[in-house]
């Protein structure tokens, strides 16, 4: 009947089912209905059964009664017949022509007819048997032979009774076990006594001995005997004869009818055999019983189904209520149209959003009331697309007309509505008011556009890269893409140029540009840690910086020169003053003397003044000398490493900016040099700067500064890999004011040579076999060292 | 200090270096110039004679007011002495700007006596001529100032070479009136001939425009 238990609604769903909630509080009456019904039915059935049984019993009883009555009647009749026949005998006996023979044959005939008669006898007044006729039947009784005296109390009493009453009389039953041996002799007997009155004088009686069992046998037909246990009983209930050997069970239906004619107390007692139950034997009972059973089973089944149904209903209701609640609480408007585009259902949110009520929408065919008239064409198009199954997954954007005439922007997502079997019933649309989201997204788009515009028009290359290998380019603005393409290669290169720091200036070998790179770690939109890099091309700036620096140097140099120049010119001016004065005084004196009339006294003052001016000039010269002396180079013992380090630290600033490395090769045990360190640093710096400038655009970007000891001098070599100096120019190099540089002033090498020669060394230049030039100069070692130590190769 | 007839001219020397100034004075006085020395431009401005026919020898670089500034000042005062700048500093741009401003020349220390003398003489001649020219201008202006505006208009057109009839048409007056104006003009400026008139006009530095 049931294979799976029905689902029980969980408490969540139940919360949505008002009825269930209410029901939970009420007692379940219907629960009792079925058992009650079934109980009633059972009771009914029991009652019916009872009734049937009773009815049957009643019928049986009635049948019994009837049958017994009938039996008794037939017995009575027989007895009456016997009594009449006996009476006839008794009457006949009185007559003269009646003799024993006639008596015997008539008796025999009677006994043939009535086989319960054992013996008929005529006894005289003294109870002596005169005539004796035994039954010709098997149970013929020879108990009363002729001339035997009748004895036995009951018989004698009956004879006397009959005598007294002048009528036939039956004796009470008595036993007589005498007779032919072997079983049943027909006892107990009862005698029919008919007195004989001859001439009103008692002259004897006719005695007919009746075998009571025989009597029963005779009267109880087999049919009756089959149905009933028929017994002849006396007033004490003792069974005198019975149709059956079995005993009457105590609970059997018993009917007792006294037999008339026989003495009181003799009755026929019949009891029905236990027959088949009236119920079981009754086809109708079977039918009814079967039907009832069927009904009960059905009722039970119904009951169970009902319970199940109720459960299912509850679940269903709860679910429906739940879904309804969900649907109604949705902020999204839902609409269902069937295959002909007629609106079939709208949820409350849809009605709220559009202002139209459910009644105004359901059942409407297009054009729908919420279509703005000016956009019918668009809406029709969208509807056509939907019906054709081509609704885009991202939905339609449309303007919706509210009932009050206002418009709003909405987005509708359409999906086919399928039944369980897959048949398409129509379409389900979800409509969301996107006025606010649209406004926000427009603002966002604008903001994004602004942002993008800014980023894209930035001069700097902005890139975001992720991954341990920095190979995933997450974002790049236009400048980056233009410069480095849409991959992370450029980012990586610049990052490599920074090394470990997060900001700095990097020379990008591939694009041959100087770039200022700034990076920082950033958390990306998806939560990853990525690196943001901003690279600004500073080549021009650097070039400008370079120029500025060069200008500054030049200015410094120039200002140094200018200072010198100024000094010189001021010196010149200073000297010129006394000189002019001397000249004037002298010439004036000459003129006066030439023109005559000038005495010695006239010109004396002038000459004296002139002399004074010469002194003045001398003082100026002296000052110059002193100044020169102060600036004279001072030589002292200086470790080579120091001058190398100092000059390199200055030169490296320039070199690294151009991506050029300076390698130093300094023997570990280099003895100190006898030099003016300031001048030598200037010298080295000058040569190094020349080398760096010569290597503009060179492939090998290394300058070697090699120091080695040669005898008692230290030999310095500045080796560059530039384009070298042509033979023709090499001779002119050391000319003052000679420069191959367009902006050079040509002071450098000349002064360098002077410095070297001041130190008693030599400065020379030669071609580098690997390309470029080698500037070599020698400097003296400090005296003590030169003498003591062995020169090392 | 207007006594200059015996000497060749007045020379003003402005230099802050005492030796140079004194010796230059010594040199120039040997050539019979009348020399006045001033140790600063300010002192010079306080003590010079605007009416003198003179040349000024100015040191370009002096503390306080420089030689150039002094030139500006003299121009402003309309004391147009020719100026000799003593230079020692190769001041070419200065030369251009100073030359634009008036009669000027340069000399370097130490002085070549002959060159110096020649220069001074030349410039004194210029000074004299300038003075004379100034005087003529002054006189002319005084005369021309006596003219009425209408007479000035007529004179202007006469100077432009217009005939009486044309002048009458220009000004919307009769020829007779023009002739009358002419007569008045000649009278006022004391000119007998048109050529005289012209000279006066020209030396007056042009008429003031009405």
Q: What is the pLDDT of residue A745?
A: 42
The predicted model gives A174-178 an average pLDDT of 71
Chain B residues 66-105 within an 8 A CB cutoff of chain A: 88-89
Say how far apart CA A72 and CA A254 lie, in whole Å.
14
List the structure tokens of A626.
Answer: 């002193």
Residue A718 banded pLDDT, cuts 50, 70, 90: very high
Question: Token pair 């140029």 is at which residue?
Answer: A497
Listed residue (A288, A299, A297, A293) closest to A49, CA to CA: A288
Is residue B110 reached through a cis peptide bond, with omega within 30 degrees of 0 on the bond before it? Answer: yes
Q: What is the pLDDT of residue B22?
A: 94
Sheet holding A239-242, edge to edge: A239-242, A228-233, A267-272, A254-258
Q: ipTM greater than 0.85, yes or no?
A: no
Is pLDDT at A686 greater than 50 in this prediction?
yes
- Chain A residue closest in CA terms to B24: A584
Question: Token pair 């054992």 is at which residue?
Answer: A118
Query: Residues A86-110: pLDDT tens digits?
Result: 888 888 887 777 788 888 888 888 8
Query: Residues A259-276: pLDDT tens digits?
Result: 887 777 788 888 877 766
Angle at A396 between CA A391 and CA A397, to 5 degrees: 170
Higher local confidence (pLDDT), A728 or A714 = A714
Q: Please give the model's pTM, rounded to 2 decimal places.
A: 0.35
Picking from B16, B26, B60 by the largest number of A CB atoms within 10 A of its own CB, the best residue to mutate is: B26
- Beta-bridge partners for A218: none
Q: H-type helices in A658-778, by residue range?
A: 677-694, 727-730, 748-758
Check CB contact under 8 Å for A616 and B30: no
Residues B114/B133, Cβ–Cβ less than 8 Å: no
Picking from A567, A578, A580 by the largest number of B CB atoms within 10 A of its own CB, the best residue to mutate is: A580
Per DSSP bridges, beta strands A239-242 and A169-170 are unpaired
* For chain B, counts of helices (H) and of strands (E): 9, 5
In sequence order, which residues have a C-beta less than 8 Å from that of residue B156 and are 6 or more positions away?
A: B207
A591 vs B24, B30, B111: nearest CB:
B30
In sequence order, which residues have a C-beta less than 8 Å from that of residue A446 and are 6 or more positions away?
A: none
Distance from B47 to chain A by nearest Cα, in Å? 24
Cβ of B118 under 8 Å from any chain A Cβ? no
B88 vs A576, A588, A610: nearest CB:
A576
3 state SS of A192: strand
Beta strands of chain B (E only): which ranges?
10-14, 34-38, 54-59, 83-87, 104-108
Helices B164-171 and B175-188: angle between axes, nearest 10 degrees: 110
Size of interface A-B (CB pairs under 8 A): 68
The predicted model gives A642-656 an average pLDDT of 84
Question: Token pair 């006994």 is at which residue?
Answer: A111
Say how far apart CA A496 and CA A758 lie, in whole Å.
47
Residue A25 banded pLDDT, cuts 50, 70, 90: low
Is pLDDT at A432 greater than 80 in this prediction?
yes
A362 phi/psi in degrees, rounded to 5: -70, 135
Residues of A in contact with B27 (CB under 8 A): 584-585, 587-588, 591
Is pLDDT at A746 greater than 50 in this prediction?
no
Expressed in percent and rounded to 5, the helix, strand and coil fractions of chain A are 50, 20, 30
Say how far apart CA B4 and CA A257 lie, in whole Å.
214
Distance from A766 to chain B by nearest Cα, in Å? 42
- Chain A residue closest in CA terms to B113: A587
Q: What is the pLDDT of residue B208?
A: 55
Higher local confidence (pLDDT), A280 or A419 = A419
Mean pLDDT score of chain A, rounded to an integer? 81
Picking from B19, B33, B114 by the largest number of A CB atoms within 10 A of its own CB, the best residue to mutate is: B19
List the structure tokens of A4.
Answer: 């799976």
Is pLDDT at A277 greater than 80 in this prediction?
no
pLDDT in tens, chain B (210 residues): 444 445 568 999 999 889 999 999 999 998 889 999 999 999 999 998 888 889 999 988 788 888 888 888 888 888 778 889 887 655 556 666 666 666 678 888 888 888 899 989 988 888 888 888 888 888 878 877 888 888 888 888 888 888 888 888 888 888 888 888 888 888 888 788 888 888 877 776 655 544
Is pLDDT at A645 greater than 70 in this prediction?
yes
Q: What is the pLDDT of residue A705?
A: 94
Residues of A in contact with B26 (CB under 8 A): 584-585, 588-589, 606
Listed residue (A40, A56, A38) closest to A284, CA to CA: A56
Residue A128 banded pLDDT, cuts 50, 70, 90: confident
DSSP H/E element including A121: strand A117-123
Say how far apart CA A38 and CA A267 lie, in whole Å.
49
List the structure tokens of A527.
Answer: 């939560």
Chain A residues 587-646 within an 8 A CB cutoff of chain B: 587-589, 591-592, 595, 606, 609-610, 612-613, 616
- Distance (Å) of CA A645 to CA A639, A665, A710, B58: 10, 11, 21, 56
The predicted model gives A470-479 an average pLDDT of 87
Residues A99/A64, Cβ–Cβ less than 8 Å: no
Question: Token pair 């012209």 is at which residue?
Answer: B198
């Amino acid at each position: 009947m049931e294979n799976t238990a029905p689902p029980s609604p969980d408490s969540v769903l139940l919360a949505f089912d008002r009825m269930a909630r209410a029901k939970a509080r009420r007692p379940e009456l219907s629960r009792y209905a079925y058992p009650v019904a079934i109980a009633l039915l059972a009771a009914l059935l029991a009652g019916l059964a009872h009734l049937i049984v009773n009815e049957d019993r009643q019928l049986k009883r009635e049948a019994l009664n009837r049958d017994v009555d009938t039996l008794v009647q037939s017995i009575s009749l027989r007895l009456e017949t016997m009594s009449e026949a006996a009476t006839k005998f008794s009457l006949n006996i009185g007559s003269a022509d009646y003799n024993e023979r006639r008596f015997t044959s008539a008796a025999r005939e009677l006994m043939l007819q009535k086989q319960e008669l054992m013996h008929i006898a005529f006894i005289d007044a003294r109870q002596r048997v005169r005539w004796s006729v035994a039954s010709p039947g098997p149970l013929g009784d020879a108990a009363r032979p002729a001339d035997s005296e009748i004895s036995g109390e009951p018989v004698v009493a009956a004879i006397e009774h009959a005598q007294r009453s002048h009528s036939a009389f039956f004796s009470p039953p008595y036993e007589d076990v005498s007779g032919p041996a072997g079983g049943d002799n027909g006892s107990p007997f009862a005698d029919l006594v008919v007195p004989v009155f001859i001439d009103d004088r008692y002259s004897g009686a006719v005695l007919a001995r009746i075998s009571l069992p025989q009597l029963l046998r005779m009267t109880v037909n087999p049919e009756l005997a089959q149905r009933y246990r028929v017994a002849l009983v006396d007033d004490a209930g003792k069974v005198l004869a019975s149709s059956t050997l079995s005993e009457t069970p105590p609970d059997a239906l018993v009917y007792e009818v006294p037999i008339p004619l026989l003495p009181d107390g003799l009755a026929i007692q019949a009891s029905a055999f236990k027959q088949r139950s009236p119920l079981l034997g009754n086809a109708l009972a079977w039918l009814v019983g079967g039907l009832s059973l069927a009904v009960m089973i059905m009722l039970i089944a119904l009951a169970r189904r009902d319970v199940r149904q109720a459960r299912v209903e509850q679940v269903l209701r709860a679910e429906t209520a739940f879904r309804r609640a969900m649907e109604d609480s949705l902020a999204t408007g839902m609409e269902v149209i069937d295959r002909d585009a007629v609106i079939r259902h709208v949820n409350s949110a849809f009605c709220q959003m559009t202002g139209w009520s459910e009644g105004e929408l359901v059942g409407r065919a297009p054009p729908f009331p919420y279509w703005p008239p000016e956009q019918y064409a668009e809406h029709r198009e969208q509807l056509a697309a939907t019906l054709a199954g081509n609704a885009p997954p991202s939905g339609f954007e449309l303007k919706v007309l509210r009932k009050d005439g206002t418009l709003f922007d909405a987005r509708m997502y359409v999906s086919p509505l399928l039944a369980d079997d897959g048949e398409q019933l129509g379409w389900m649309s979800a409509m969301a008011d996107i006025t606010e989201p649209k406004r926000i997204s427009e603002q966002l788009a604008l903001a994004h556009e602004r942002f993008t515009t800014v980023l894209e028009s930035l001069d700097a290359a902005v890139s975001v890269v992720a991954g341990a290998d920095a190979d995933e380019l997450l974002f790049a603005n236009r400048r980056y893409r233009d410069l480095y393409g849409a991959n992370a290669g450029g980012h990586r290169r610049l990052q490599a140029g920074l090394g470990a720091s997060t900001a700095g200036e990097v020379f990008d070998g591939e694009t041959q540009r100087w770039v200022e790179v700034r990076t920082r770690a950033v958390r990306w939109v998806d939560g990853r840690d990525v690196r943001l890099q901003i690279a600004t091309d500073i080549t021009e700036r650097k070039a400008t910086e370079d120029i500025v620096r060069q200008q500054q140097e030049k200015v410094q140099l120039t200002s140094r020169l200018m200072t010198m120049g100024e000094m010189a010119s001021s010196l010149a001016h200073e000297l010129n003053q006394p000189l002019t004065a001397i000249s004037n005084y002298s010439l004036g004196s000459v003129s006066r003397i030439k023109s005559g009339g000038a005495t010695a006294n006239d010109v004396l003052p002038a000459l004296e003044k002139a002399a004074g001016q010469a002194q003045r000039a001398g003082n100026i010269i002296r000052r110059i000398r002193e100044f020169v002396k102060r600036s004279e180079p001072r030589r002292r013992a200086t470790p080579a490493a120091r001058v190398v380090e100092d000059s390199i630290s200055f030169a490296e600033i320039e070199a690294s900016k151009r991506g050029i490395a300076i390698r130093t090769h300094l023997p570990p045990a280099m003895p100190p040099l006898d030099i003016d360190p300031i001048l030598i640093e200037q010298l080295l710096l000058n040569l190094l700067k020349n080398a760096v400038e010569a290597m503009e655009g060179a492939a090998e970007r290394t300058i070697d500064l090699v120091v080695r000891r040669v005898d008692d001098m230290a030999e310095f070599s500045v080796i560059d890999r530039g384009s070298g100096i042509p033979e023709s120019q090499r001779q002119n190099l050391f000319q003052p004011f000679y420069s191959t540089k367009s902006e050079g002033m040509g002071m450098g090498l000349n002064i360098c040579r002077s410095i070297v020669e001041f130190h008693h060394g030599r400065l020379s230049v030669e071609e580098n076999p690997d390309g470029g030039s080698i500037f070599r100069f020698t400097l003296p070692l400090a005296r003590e060292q030169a003498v003591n130590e062995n020169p090392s190769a | 200090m207007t006594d200059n007839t015996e000497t060749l001219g007045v020379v003003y020397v402005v230099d802050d270096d005492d030796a140079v100034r004194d010796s230059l004075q010594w040199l120039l006085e040997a050539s019979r110039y009348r020399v006045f020395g001033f140790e600063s431009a300010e002192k010079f401005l306080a003590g010079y004679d605007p009416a003198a026919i003179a040349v000024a020898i100015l040191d370009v670089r002096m503390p306080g007011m420089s030689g150039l500034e002094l030139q500006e000042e003299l121009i402003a005062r309309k004391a147009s002495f020719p100026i000799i700048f003593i230079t020692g500093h190769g001041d070419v741009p200065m030369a251009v700007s100073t030359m634009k401003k008036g009669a000027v020349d340069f000399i370097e220390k130490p002085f070549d006596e002959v060159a110096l003398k020649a220069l001074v003489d030349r410039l004194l001649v210029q000074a004299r001529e300038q003075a004379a020219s100034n005087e003529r201008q002054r006189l002319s202006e005084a005369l021309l100032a006596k003219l009425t505006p209408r007479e000035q208009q007529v004179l202007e057109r006469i100077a432009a070479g217009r005939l009486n009839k044309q002048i009458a048409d220009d000004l919307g007056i009769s020829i007779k009136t023009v002739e009358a104006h002419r007569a008045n003009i000649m009278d006022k400026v004391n000119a007998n001939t048109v050529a005289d008139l012209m000279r006066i006009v020209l030396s007056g530095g042009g008429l003031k425009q009405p």
